[in-house]
Amino acid sequence: MQIFERLARELDIQLLQVQKTVELMDEGNTLPFIARYRKEVTGNLDDVKLRELEEKLQFYRSLEERKTTVARLLQEQGLLTEELEKSIEKSTSLQQIEDIYRPYRPKKRTRATIAIEKGLEPLANYIMEGMGSLEELLSLAEECISEEKEIQSAQEALVYAQDILADRLSDDVAARGIVRKESFMRGNFTSEAIEGADSVYEIYWDFSEPVRAMKPHRTLAIFRGEKEGSLRIGFDFPDEEIIEKLKYLFRGSKHPFALYIDEAVEDGYKRLLRPSIETETRNALKEVADSESIDVFKKNLRPYLMQAPLSGHVVMGLDPGFRTGCKLAVVGPMGELLDYGTIFPTKPRTDIEGAKKVFSTMVEKYGVSLFAIGNGTASRETEQVVASFIEEQKKELHYCIVNESGASIYSASPLAREEFPDLDVSIRGAISIARRIQDPLAELVKIEPKHIGIGQYQHDVNQKLLDESLEKVVEDCVNAVGVNLNQASFRLLSYVAGISKNVAKNIVKYKEEKGGFKSRKELFEVKGLGPKTFEQCAGFLRVPESSEPLDHTAVHPESYSIARPLLGRQISSADLPALAQQYNIGLPTLSDIVEELKKPGRDPREEMPKPILRSDVLSLADLKEGMILTGTVRNVVDFGAFVDIGVKEDGLVHISKISDKYIKHPSDVLQVADIVKVKIIGIDAQRNKISLSMRDV
């Protein structure tokens, strides 16, 4: 109950919403299903809030599990006091629990454990208690001299006792709290060049910034530089001030054995506590940077996947190249491959006329209306040829530049080999480029999200956490759009709520054997797909070939008996309360059913901006400061946004040039695929860099 109350408070929702939603989760319901079909139970929580609830629930349950484990371990050692039990129970972070357990954790053999083995713990306790005189302390130390224990003098015994005190300091909860706070509030994170350092890290060759002010993208860049052997990372902490605070913590203002305690404190801090807090600080900076970088990626990924599809076009996908030529694939309106080939419009052959002849043939034969050009090597040279061809034609033709990140990974994947076993890898890439315009979501799910080129240092963050986070975004997008059961690939099906990879394979196998599905009910014939899986997935799967009209919609089969009498009726919002009472159904669910019946199979991506289609080409030389252009946001990062304005290099809108009002992060006002107006405020032709502004346009 404490966890539920905390979740309700942190998420600013009702306690009952938390309780009921967690019950649904614990019963094995998927989040997309809960978000879409259990709105009455959750109080209309959307998928974003549900994901947040899920993450926090997992964290707090892990926290409680760790509390239980630590309490059990202490109990087994006979060390669990009432005070320790209360401290564990009050802990609100894993760090606090680990600090409490740290002094009792089994240790490797250290200077302190050696001193304890030699029987010097009573002497260490005597120093700490400070109840006697210096003479009494020295006398007690002399009594510790032992040939058998290899203690040769009183001074050596005192040094051993100080080792015990130094170790206690490094484990002390209050001491660690002081060092942790001071290092964060007043410490600096530093980096310096190592001999032979890569110049790409030049700005970090002599770098220092307060720990509390470190930006995630800088943290990740510096850690990458360290990993590549270009940078050495360090920390500047206010050591003298910290040591003074620790001395006071351990001995107060007056203590008869202050000299011995002070020496132990200095040794314990420099040898044990500082290195430990350095490691902690490094890890904390990395965790924050990972978390924020993954959050940026998630925010970019959702609109990228939800780009509006350009349906109805026959598309020629072009995967440009120089020496090996430009691979092309003509794809029909449903994504089916119609033709493919290779042209050589760029160096070294520069067969422009031959390329245009192929274009002309394909346009006439298949009705190509759109060229999709990958943005990799030779992209702009290919674009010039396409633009020149379009200018010469009397037909309505356009082209667009497509982010081809990950296309090569897909084209060499088992999935691509299965789809097109007889085609060259590069031809598969051209097919993927064409399909990304027709239905971005269906094509992009075939690639691991981290490979589609819209993140920020995505290869430097915790890969397990990144993969898990992005998979959830993809799952939410797929289920928000819905899936045509008879057209969906294995990969797309595996993201549908409740469908495992094995079940997805079985669905594909069933389609191939039976020639497709004729209804949603037929899903029960699929091996491994039982009632629970059907409940979770059915509403997200569309079967246009079904004789049941509701199978074409997002209406869940459990609501068919309510939806059928409403087919063809004109229902206003004023009618809903009475109908909800009549059919004994929640108002949110009834509203969704009515909206779906008004626009069966509505695609939410239709509300997203369409990609910019071009018929001419710009070069850097065509640009002038002060020009106002329309562009597409390609990536949003901590320091700004990159915008495609139709030239080879994307321009950068720095965060300070995005809005007249203060914004904390570019994602507050921009997202990937947004169509924006920008003004050119700087051109560096030598470095191919373009500075843009969204202010005063």
Where residue 412 sits, what CATH number does that domain have?
3.30.420.140
Q: Tell me if 327 is assigned to some domain.
A: yes
Distance CA 423, CA 642 (A): 35
Is the backbone peptide bond immediately before 303 cis, with ω within 30 degrees of 0?
no
Q: What is the DSSP letter of 270?
A: I
Q: What is the token pair recorded at 279?
A: 């490691």
Same domain as 433, residue 367? yes
What distances in angstroms separate CA 163 from CA 114, 500, 547, one per listed residue?
Answer: 9, 56, 82
* Contact assessment for residue 285 and residue 211, using Cβ atoms and an 8 Å cutoff: yes
For residue 167, what are the domain limits? 111-297
Question: Which position has the token pair 């059961």?
Answer: 485
Return the CATH number at 65. Answer: 1.10.10.650
Coil, strand or helix: which one is 192? strand
DSSP secondary structure letter of residue 146: B
Q: Residue 206 forms beta bridges with which residues?
A: 192
The pair of structure tokens assigned to 512 is: 């191939």
For residue 639, CA distances in Å to 296, 460, 656, 670, 684 come to 11, 18, 9, 12, 19
The reply to whether 351 and 378 lie within a common domain is yes
In a domain, 544, yes or no: no
**And the tokens for 568?**
């063809």
Task: Give the residue ranges of DSSP H helices in 151-238.
Answer: 154-171, 173-186, 216-227
Count of domains for the chain: 5
Question: What whole-number distance in Å separates Cα of residue 39 and Cα of residue 633?
Answer: 34
Q: Which residues pair with 373 in a beta bridge?
A: 318, 401
pLDDT along the chain (697 residues), means of 10: 91 97 97 97 95 96 96 95 95 94 91 96 96 93 95 96 97 96 97 95 97 94 96 97 97 93 98 97 96 92 94 95 96 96 96 97 97 92 95 92 91 92 95 96 92 80 93 96 95 97 97 96 98 98 96 97 94 93 94 93 86 83 92 92 89 96 94 94 92 94
Q: Does 689 lie in the same domain as 629? A: yes
User: Where does 243-397 show beta strands of DSSP type E?
Assistant: 315-319, 326-331, 337-343, 370-374
How buried is 194 (Cβ within 10 angstroms: 0-12 exposed, 13-18 middle, 19+ buried)? middle
Cβ contacts of 358 within 8 Å, gap of 6 or more = 328, 341, 343
Domain boundary among 414, 438, 462: 438
Same domain, 589 and 674: no
Indicate whether 179 and 55 sit together in one domain: no
Structural domain contains residue 527: no
Distance CA 455, CA 656 (A): 20
- The region, left, alpha or beta by phi > 0 then psi within -120 to 50, assigned to residue 40 is alpha
**335 and 421 both lie in a single domain:** yes
Residue 369 vs residues 303, 333, 390, 399: alpha-carbon distances, Å: 25, 11, 10, 8
Q: From 418, 438, 458, give the residue that closes a domain.
A: 438
Q: Output the domain CATH number for residue 642.
A: 2.40.50.140
575, amino acid identity: D
**Whole-Å CA distances, 72 to 58, 65, 172:** 21, 11, 21
Q: Does residue 96 lie in a domain region?
A: no
315, 426: one domain: yes
Regarding whether 415 and 344 lie in a shared domain, the answer is: yes
Token pair 């943290």 is at which residue? 219
Q: How many CA atoms lie within 13 A of 563 on its CB side?
A: 23
Residues 154 and 277 in one domain: yes
Helices (H), 306-446: 352-366, 379-392, 407-411, 414-419, 425-438, 440-444
List all residues 6 or more positions away from 464 whose beta carbon is below 8 Å from its beta carbon.
none
